[in-house]
Amino acid sequence: MSRDGMSGAKDQEYLPYGRQWVSPEDIEAVKEVLESDWITTGPKVEEFERTVASKAGSLHGVAVSNGTTALHAAYAAAGIGPGDEVIVPAITFAATANMVILAGAKPIFADVDENTLLIDPESVRGLISDRTKAIVGVDYAGQPFDHLKIKKMCHDREILLISDAAHSLGGSHEGSPVGSLADITTFSFHPVKPITTGEGGMIVTDSEKFANKARAMRGHGIDATFRERESENTFEYDVSSLGSNYRITDFQCALGISQISRLDEWIAKRNWIADLYDSGLSNIEGVSPIGRREGVLNAFHLYVVRVDKSLFGKDRGSVFRHLRESNIGVNVHYRPIYQFSYYRRKYGDLSGSCPNSEKAYEEILSLPIFPGMDLEDVNRVVSGIAQFTQ
């Protein structure tokens, strides 16, 4: 066992931007399921759904194979399809918009707030049309977007608010947990997210109708799981809707149940690291963290800074290369989606439509942040940036 109880040796040479933390207790929880009768579609899936839904302040949870399938199942549950438009932020992982297209609808790109890089309500307001079926906000870097302002726009027009909260499990706004702020919320449990199941995702909602539709999407549209048919001693089932296989295993869910017991501790650690970065970078002119909203608990999946070339003297690309050459695994999250070649071919050149997003992409840099980091790690990153201008 290495420093801080992390599973596996911590590589002193390379500091990644994110890393999972798997404990002996996590491994034992998985082992117990692997030795049981149910390793998929069993009781641990339902337990994990209840655990996450409770943490998220929602009535229903539907566990799926990853965060992308969670989005697809959520869009299907919301009835999004051909002829619909779905407003999404330009700055997000491609899956947010990709799944809109896979559902048969058209993504409409909203700009982000120039300070927080969260979806800008005023940009959204100008994009709503009679074809708008849903607005998808993204809790970029772990910080909840302005759900209340956008929810009012939605409910005034009978539009659904969907929250892509892949970054923000454990976060909150004014004490209300992420998962209770939108009509439907999706999470990701990829290894660098707040907790991990290896791969995995979940839809949470207070709507039984949406939850049932997402479950059907997860399991081929079948109206009864194998375990339910076993308990009722029947082989009969119906395929009542179109679905796919988006199931997650019991041993993945066992890992998630074990992990979530440490979520609050890990969110606190991520905020501690973020505060250290804030302090350490405060004396470096031209490198500044993106803004924080008042009244939110930020899950800090990412710690994102902006590099102002006119003040720092170096552009973002040169800082990226310098830190990577120093074995500090910085990254960039994200390029505006409409700049990717697929989107240019499909929708044409949208350059200039989201100026805040385009400017941010030229400046943003994600610094390492994960619960296994310590003060030495943070100082190493800050020093690496400071030394670059000397």
Catalytic residues: 193
Instruction: Give, as one character, the DSSP assignment of residue 109.
Output: E
Neighbouring C-beta atoms of residue 12, cutoff 10 Å: 11
205: left (phi over 0), alpha (psi -120 to 50) or beta: beta
Cα–Cα dist 327/377, whole Å: 12
> What is the phi/psi pair of residue 200, to 5°?
160, 160
Longest CA pairwise span in the chain (Å): 74
Helices (H), the chain: 24-34, 43-56, 67-77, 95-102, 121-125, 147-157, 208-218, 226-231, 250-260, 263-281, 309-312, 316-325, 341-347, 355-361, 375-387
Bridge-based pairing of strands 172-173 and 160-164 is: unpaired
Structure tokens at 57: 């302040």
Planar angle of CA 293, 365, 287, nearest 5 degrees? 75
Neighbouring C-beta atoms of residue 2, cutoff 10 Å: 11
Cα–Cα dist 96/140, whole Å: 12
Cα–Cα dist 6/114, whole Å: 37
Contacts of 294 (CB under 8 A, 6+ apart): none
Burial class (CB in 10 A: 0-12, 13-18, 19+), 146: buried
